[in-house]
Structure 1
């Protein structure tokens, strides 16, 4: 068996930065939905925590009453809702990543916000939703075995979005939607730990985003998305040599 050539985390990050250089405003625009969601959630949680702390210090909340309200019963409806809502969230994540994929292909072209919502305009919404739903169901089922198998399968299925995007761009159609999940499993064979390390390398940035009261995520989220796309392009061999060098050359012509 041939040993896989490692993909440099540092190089993938550099490709993302090279793509965004001088165009961070565009990168933020394409990622505005997750940015608003993350920053908004940060402020909402902070507000709730502040209210709870204030209430506790004022003695208006009885600790035993709070504990007594915890509901540990299993609710099938909540599970179904969670899987479906996660599938919808995955659709938006895919669509935003697809916009970055298109940007890598044409770094000199004007980038518009609608590119991050292309999943609603490419005529494949329900097909895409079904694929995202199937992927989430599979991950959920693996998670039931234990947390670790679910995490492993999350990395194993991580390239489904890119395999699917390639066929959409080429007007192709797999025999079944699960073929894209199979493709992701195949290309990630032997690389799940590598991708885990790539994700782990952003931990410092996530901490910085937290320390800046969520403001730092305005730049961190596009950076992470761009790096993930750069990794996918290298994984599938679609970067045609060194992508960062090609971008720099095109912008200097």
Structure 2
């Protein structure tokens, strides 16, 4: 399942804008949780940077002695907390993305806020939770090998949510949950740079989001999520059509 036909960044962005045209309130409503996560992340990052600068300016010669065992346990708990936190955020991003998939399929039927919680109401929560934890753990482990491998795998695993949604809609299931990650890796073969350029095209919006203390993300997050889903739709359509042709 590999597609070689390029996907237009301009086209998928246009599709995202067309989907939201005249329905910006609905777009914000169904993306509200990812918006909140993003704004909190920006605020937290700004506060952390401020704290680091302040601590460096007020450095003293005092030293502290910490137990090696306590330090090791603290690191383990920090890793677990980080992986679980990433998995929970991924769950809400996925369920919003699934709502956007359905909106693209039926553009005249506006989704409701309740639709963004379909992960809890349609019997997919446990499987999705396990899958997001596994994906978050794999990304964490790859990141330990330096930042670049982690970024590469982030793009490689980016289509897991869509592969899973396809099976949910068709009432089918892969042999193992990790097979959805494998599907994502296959369809993203030769596509990671293309998706990187798509994400990079939003750099100006991210700068605006940071400069406004996260407030601009009220608009940016819905736009970004709809564009990502539009890209995934093109990607899987091409991959499946070329697979059938072969």
| TM-score in same-fold range (> 0.5) | yes
Partner Cα distance (2:130, 2:40) in 1: 28
Q: Paired residue for 2:135?
A: 135
Matched, 1:149 2:145: no
Q: Paired residue for 1:124?
A: 124
3-state SS of the aligned residue for 2:60? helix
Query: Aligned-pair distance for 1:46?
Result: 5.3
Matched, 1:178 2:185: no
Stretches of structure 1 that go unaligned for 5 or more consecutive residues are 239-253
Aligned pair in 2 of structure 1 residues 24, 80: CA closer, same or farther (>3 Å)? same
Partner Cα distance (2:105, 2:141) in 1: 36
Partner Cα distance (2:61, 2:24) in 1: 48
Give 1:1-253 correspondences, 5 Å limit. 4-43=4-43, 62-64=58-60, 73-74=71-72, 75-237=75-237
Partner Cα distance (1:157, 1:206) in 2: 22
Partner Cα distance (2:226, 2:170) in 1: 22
Higher relative contact order (CA 8 A, sep 6+): 2
Stretches of structure 2 that go unaligned for 5 or more consecutive residues are 239-246
Query: Aligned-pair distance for 1:41?
Result: 4.3
Confirm or deny: 8 A CA contact 2:3 2:187 kept in the other structure: no
Aligned pair in 2 of structure 1 residues 3, 87: CA closer, same or farther (>3 Å)? closer
Query: Aligned-pair distance for 1:69?
Result: 9.9
Partner Cα distance (1:70, 1:120) in 2: 43
Deviation per residue, 1:94-138 (Å, 9 max, x gap): 011111111101110131011111111111111111111111122
Deviation per residue, 1:22-49 (Å, 9 max, x gap): 0011000011012122224444665677
Partner Cα distance (1:207, 1:78) in 2: 29
TM-score, normalization by structure 2: 0.85
3-state SS of the aligned residue for 1:182? helix
| Regions of 4+ moved over 3 Å | 40-53, 65-74
TM-score, normalization by structure 1: 0.82
The aligned length equals 233
Deviation per residue, 1:37-93 (Å, 9 max, x gap): 22244446656777998x88xxxx842279969999551121122112211111111
Aligned pair in 2 of structure 1 residues 5, 84: CA closer, same or farther (>3 Å)? same
Q: What is the CA RMSD across the aligned residues, in angstroms?
A: 2.9
